[in-house]
Chains A and B, each alone.
Chain A
């Protein structure tokens, strides 16, 4: 994942976020819904890694807040989980950016595991949800979908810069 020094492709960023929100809201049948990757998180960390001079943890926090507001979650749940995940990622930034694609997928797996753990813990503050291994299904699906997502985002970025 090369670090891009070009100015922030604002249009590409907005487009990708809108697409992420649509992908997030598409209905999946029954238990398949537990496999939905956290698209908004994946797309914001992509921008965090390739545009470190423009996109920071505050951006990730704001997208999390937007997600909470749009989908009627308790406000702040995603903001907290996503920004803490982004912070932990930021501490390993230089290592992750130079990983080859298979290792990037592995990194995505661990990042989403961290995110899901944080997200479920923040939800347990005020909600009563049934826990289980299905909490971590999105980590597997994220790892599988990462090459596709990163490729599409790279094309999009090139298109608009």
Chain B
């Protein structure tokens, strides 16, 4: 008994403080696949339900709606091209040195951690798709998390709502910076160390600031849902609802961001710039 307990303690210490046991995780990862798959069954069932059990009329209506949506987005994108070109010109006038080029890769959710204290998911992209630790993961609505462990075909993503996670943000309304941390609850994030005099209101949109150079800047993280001012406390409590559907998105995007020197873009042909600036050059699977 004592030997077993000691052996377990040694393993915990080795795995927590060194990377000696990483190969064991990677080696046993394929064995975990059926169980991982089981963890996404309800989500898959719901999706299958939506796809297969709808009537023809509903599908046609849906299709119409999506086409209209695409039209609206295309119209916005046309405007975006002009704005991006203008932005690039202004940046070069101000001697801005670099701009960030983002490209994305589509990934699918293949597993959810059963541990309620950990908000970790598994996606079906790994080292073979050039995924590295630290890449940001988004869904259609906003930032979801970051890659923390990479296997050959899969990788694990730590969600922003995990209580071990924090990320730098700024307020879209007034550019005030802050650090958001997870609360361990899928529907709530917390803003740390906000002084009572700081200008923050319910409904403010918070975007990732890119400070710390881990997350790309400008992705929506959440909106302020409640502010609790307790006169006895040094800081106010700010609750945030995450923008991403953290606990229900099945398809995700992994963002590769590369900082490129502005000199690489010819200033004489601003029309080529928008393509590089927006993040829509998705690499379809």
Contacts and interface: CB of A to CB of B under 8 A. Distances in A.
B116 A76 contact: no
A75 B24 contact: yes
Interface string A21-36: 1101111001101101
Given A61-B4, A83-B8, A71 B184 contact: no
Contact of B11 (A26, A27, A58, A76): A76
Contacts of A79: 4, 7-8, 11
A114 to B, nearest CB: 14
A82 to B, nearest CB: 9
A33 to B, nearest CB: 4
Interface in B12-50: 12-17, 21, 24-25, 28, 31-32, 35-36, 38-43
A71 B8 contact: no
A61 B247 CA distance: 32
A80 B43 CA distance: 33
A73 B9 CA distance: 14
B120 A72 contact: yes
Interface in A8-45: 21-22, 24-27, 30-31, 33-34, 36
B94 interface: no
Given A22-B38, A25-B38, A73 B115 contact: yes
A145 interface: no
B25 A72 contact: yes
Contacts of A26: 38-39, 41-42, 114
Interface residues of B, number: 45
Nearest to B21: A75
Nearest to B8: A80
A122 B116 contact: no
Contact of A25 (B35, B186, B247): B35
A125 B163 CA distance: 16
Contact of B116 (A25, A36, A83): A36
A147 B234 CA distance: 51
B112 interface: yes
Contact of A130 (B111, B115, B184): B184
A57 interface: yes
Contacts of A34: 116
Listed residue (A21, A26, A36) with the most chain B CB atoms within 10 angstroms of its CB: A26
Contacts, number: 115
Contact of B12 (A31, A61, A77): A77
B91 interface: no
Interface in A65-90: 65, 69-77, 79-80, 83-84, 87
Contacts of B183: 130
Contacts of A31: 116
A71 B114 contact: yes
A129 B35 contact: no
Given A21-B35, A58-B4, A72-B156, A33 B12 contact: no
A75 B15 contact: yes
Contacts of B1: 57, 83, 87
Interface string B208-226: 0000000000000000000
B39 A74 contact: no
6 contacts: A27-B39, A36-B116, A76-B10, A83-B5, A83-B8, A84-B5
Given A76-B11, A80-B9, A134-B116, 10 more contacts: A25-B36, A25-B39, A27-B43, A30-B187, A70-B28, A71-B115, A72-B120, A75-B21, A77-B8, A83-B1
Interface of A: 21-22, 24-27, 30-31, 33-34, 36, 57-58, 61, 64-65, 69-77, 79-80, 83-84, 87, 122-123, 125-130, 134
Query: 5 closest A-B pairs (Cβ-Cβ)?
Result: A76-B11, A126-B16, A80-B8, A33-B116, A76-B12
